[in-house]
Chain A
């Protein structure tokens, strides 16, 4: 069971990375990058490092995703927020 999880999660990571590369909309790319961080957090638990798991969950999915979305707002790449 654990071996199955250890084989599937890295494949999911690679799928997420490819989805970020080939997505056309920026908001989709940011959301998939946040889920990439979430999968990394689970992998840290499987590697027996709980410190890294808490930090990656707080930082990757929390602050990094938040900053990316605020940047998207400032460059007017979110639909429905352009002033014109």
Chain B
């Protein structure tokens, strides 16, 4: 139990992942599903970047002349997450464009109604 409290960022990331995942599966509204995917993305980035933090050390910007590896945090997870944040916004933008087209065709963003209408019109 103390382990979970010491790793509080990882615990929060796991709970957020579960919340985002249940949002994605169970919400009826398509826009809220996209928000659920965004919450899942952010939780994964939090989990990954908290692996790079080392207590008592500074941010990875060089101060002074010579770099000593014992003075700075691990910069590798931060680099990976930087790429991920931009990919997350691309995926959000693409999903929202799809939602706009679905609304143009079916005049609703409720998932159950779209499935019913698609089955009625006979095309998918």
Contact = CB atoms under 8 A, between A and B. Distances in A.
Contact of A29 (B32, B50, B81): B32
Given A33-B35, A48-B53, A75 B103 contact: yes
Contacts of A44: 49
B109 A52 contact: no
Closest 6 CB pairs of A and B: A10-B12, A48-B59, A71-B96, A49-B78, A75-B103, A17-B19
Contacts of B19: 14, 17-18, 21
Interface residues of B, number: 44
Contacts of B93: 63, 67
Q: Which range contains the number of A residues in contact with the other chain?
A: 35 or more
Interface of A: 6-7, 10-11, 13-14, 17-18, 20-21, 26, 29-30, 33, 36-37, 40, 43-44, 47-52, 55-56, 59-60, 63-64, 67-68, 71-72, 74-75, 77
Interface of A is mostly: helix
Interface of B is mostly: helix
Interface of B: 8-9, 11-12, 15-16, 19-20, 22-23, 27, 29, 31-32, 34-35, 38-39, 42, 45-46, 49-50, 52-53, 57-61, 73, 78, 81-82, 85-86, 89, 92-93, 96, 99-100, 103, 109
